Amino acid sequence: MRLRAIALVFAAMLAVAGAAQAAPPNHGSGKGNAPHGTAAARAALDPLHNAGKSGAECPNGLACRFVPAAYEQNSADPGDYGNYDLANRPADGLAIRYVVIHDTEVGYDDTIALFQNPLAYVSSHYVTRSSDGEVTQMVPTKDVAWHAGNWWINTHSVGIENEGFALEGSEWFTGALYRSLARLTRYTADRYGIPLDREHIIGHDQVPGPTEAFQAGMHWDPGPFFDWDRFMTLVGAPITGAHGDRTGRIVTIDPSFEKNEPVVSACDGSGSHPCPRSRRISSTSIPPRARARRSSTTRSCPARERRARRTGVTRR
| Segment contacting Zn ion by CB under 5 A, of 132-140, 189-197, 213-221, 282-290 | 213-221
Please identify, using beta-carbon distances, which residue of 36 and 198 lies nearer to Zn ion.
Answer: 198
What is the closest distance, in whole angstroms, from the C-beta atom of residue 35 to Zn ion in the complex? 26
With CB under 5 A as the contact rule, the residue among 27, 102, 125, 309 that binds Zn ion is: 102
Residue 219 engages Zn ion in binding (rule: CB under 5 A): yes
What is the closest distance, in whole angstroms, from the C-beta atom of residue 78 to Zn ion in the complex? 27
Residue 89 engages Zn ion in binding (rule: CB under 5 A): no
CA distance 261 to 257: 8
Determine how many CB atoms are found less than 10 A away from the CB of residue 57.
23
With CB under 5 A as the contact rule, the residue among 27, 204, 306, 309 that binds Zn ion is: 204
With CB under 5 A as the contact rule, the residue among 201, 301, 303, 308 that binds Zn ion is: 301
What is the closest distance, in whole angstroms, from the C-beta atom of residue 154 to Zn ion in the complex? 12
Give bridge partners of residue 136 from the DSSP assignment.
65, 127
* 8 Å CB contact between 182 and 128: no
What is the closest distance, in whole angstroms, from the C-beta atom of residue 53 to Zn ion in the complex? 30
- Cβ neighbours of residue 75 under 8 Å, at least 6 residues apart? none
Please identify, using beta-carbon distances, which residue of 85 and 103 lies nearer to Zn ion.
Answer: 103
Give residues in contact with Zn ion (CB under 5 A): 102, 204, 219, 221, 301
